Amino acid sequence: MIKLACNSKVTLIIVLFFCFSSTYGQTYGRNGMVVSDNELASQVGVTILKKGGNAIDAAVATAFALAVVHPQAGNIGGGGFIVYINGSGASTTIDFREKAPLQATPDMFLDKNGELIQGSNHEGLKSVGVPGTVAGLFMAHQKYGELPWKELVQPSVELAKNGFSLSWTLASHARRMQDNSTPGFMKDFFKNPEGDLVEFGETWVQPALAQTLERIRDKGRDGFYEGKVAREIEKFMKENGGIITRKDLKAYTAIERAPIKGTYKEYEIYSMPPPSSGGVALIEMMNIMELANLDSIQFNSTAYVHLVAETMRRAFADRAEFLGDPDFNPEMPLAKLTSKEFAQKRYQNIDFERASVSDSTRFGQLYDGTNTTHLSVIDKNGSAVSLTYTLEYSYGSKLGAPKLGFIFNNEMGDFNPQPGTTTSSGLIGTPPNTISPGKRMLSSMTPTIVAKEGKPYLVIGSPGGRTIINTVFQTVLNVLEYEMPLHRAIEAMKIHHQWLPDRLIYETDLLSPDTQKALEEMGHTLYGAGNLGRLMGIIHSRDQGIYIGVSDSSSPDGAAVGY
Ligand code: DON
């Protein structure tokens, strides 16, 4: 019936509604939804759902597909996090964050005077953390998946082997990467077997990546961490100055952890615990906002922006002081930081007339790059997956073994590189996140699921380095407090404050000149930015029995696909 309507030329509105089930940037589905940074990847996920796969199956398949079609952040050479709640309300998380190699040392990025060699922690093979993605996706599937593993990896093998039409975005990256500053691996990355650069709309094939994915398809985790792929990683590292060995790869394990939980009014929030700082900071900020009388504060007003910025400032100071890899910081006060009493303490010292001053003798941190990717999935039983993973920078280290066809992360840059040195420009040297062999670097990724009466209601996440925590926070607040429809919550103005450097970043087009002036008079240092966040979300509207998916309009190739 739907097909008939689509073929009719007269019923344009019906066509739009049924063929795309999408209006005002929102896509509707009855049985399931996948939202990701690439439409082909979202379609792979929905195909898995239609085959009877659950949300975990679809998320795993979508993540592998993103490693092929969204290589700037989709990956098998990086790491990330999954938050999962099944339709009955049971929740868990999978931590597949990269680890420092066994030969890593706290001072590996310092010169002989103990100063950070600028950029060294993000460049070259020493910036590569031991990848976690394949182990994490495999663990998620082993524990919670339903379809056979091979069926989840096969679509990505095909996308790599048979190729797909190169998008305008990837074609423009490919062209930009032809200058002399680009490592050879990346310069050749978008070339066809004849050695020519693939252009927009032409088919791009990745035969080496297809072979690596075939090994993962056939051997699971061991197809990456043992055997031929592991040997080739070790060889490439040895020959090019890297320190990851087969021992590192063999020792890598993903870890299942209990989610960080909080509440906001009648809603329950589930997010990622350390080694991500995202969940703790999100819940601390939501608790602070719950104390404010938001009924009397107009959205986007000076009072609103000031309150939100001061809340962020406090949460980011606590992030820097307390958070790191839990396996190396067993004493982290997570229960305290996410408690309502602690929020009271933080809320009480906000001055509603003046900006506080971030004190560089306390804590702070640098910005990260701006490429990571988030996907949200929900299946017919209401089970939901929120998955964020990354290579850190766009195309990570821009290095990889040509025979393997995938890109290595540069995640070592997320450690505090110069122990003991914290500066007002944002360098941070606090102990919980200094480098140790086998340690996971602190992350800001904030894959989140909000539940109502125990069942998933909102599935959300974003890329954006440290801005992730704040863009997810504001989107959740927009939905829960300001009752915005999801597309408006995602598109609404976002701000970012991260304690140090002490500045309030705002989306230039969206904050009025009067508000800017008033904020400056209160003592804020403003800093305009084009866009903050690239959110991928799903709402489960139980009353109407539908899923509503939204891919942020700032994602050029992103799409929500429902069925
Ligand atoms: O784990 C983190 O917090 C960062 N490595 C994420 C990097 C990132 O989001 C860059 N882009 N959007």
The average confidence (pLDDT) of the chain is 93
Residue 310, ligand 1, Cβ within 6 A = no
Site to substitute for ligand 1 among 444, 462, 534, most atoms within 8 A of C-beta: 444
Expressed in angstroms and rounded, the spacing between residue 88 Cα and the centre of ligand 1 is 31
**Assigned token pair, 548:** 């509503």
- Bridge partner list, 27: 22, 549
User: What does the pLDDT read at residue 421?
Assistant: 87
- For the chain, which residues score pLDDT lower than 50? 1-20, 361-369
User: What does the pLDDT read at residue 6?
Assistant: 35
Residue 450, ligand 1, Cβ within 6 A = no
First to last CA, the chain: 15
User: How far apart are alpha carbons 129 and 411 in whole angstroms?
Assistant: 6
Residue 368, ligand 1, Cβ within 6 A = yes
**Assigned token pair, 219:** 């051997």
User: How far apart are alpha carbons 26 and 544 in whole angstroms?
Assistant: 15
Looking at residue 362, the DSSP 8-state letter turns out to be S
* Ligand 1 atom showing the smallest separation from residue 413 Cα: 5
127-138 tens-digit pLDDT: 999 999 999 999
Residue 370, ligand 1, Cβ within 6 A = yes
User: What does the pLDDT read at residue 370?
Assistant: 53
Question: Of the candidates 246, 222, 255, 332, which has an alpha carbon nearest to the alpha carbon of residue 97?
Answer: 255
Expressed in angstroms and rounded, the spacing between residue 388 Cα and the centre of ligand 1 is 9
User: How far apart are alpha carbons 286 and 495 in whole angstroms?
Assistant: 15
Neighbours of 366 (CB within 10 A): 20
Residue 468, ligand 1, Cβ within 6 A = yes
**Assigned token pair, 488:** 């408006």
User: What does the pLDDT read at residue 363?
Assistant: 39
User: What does the pLDDT read at residue 23?
Assistant: 65
Expressed in angstroms and rounded, the spacing between residue 286 Cα and the centre of ligand 1 is 22
Looking at residue 78, the DSSP 8-state letter turns out to be S
User: How far apart are alpha carbons 220 and 403 in whole angstroms?
Assistant: 19
* Residues forming the active site: 372
Neighbours of 557 (CB within 10 A): 18
Expressed in angstroms and rounded, the spacing between residue 544 Cα and the centre of ligand 1 is 36
Residue 37, ligand 1, Cβ within 6 A = no
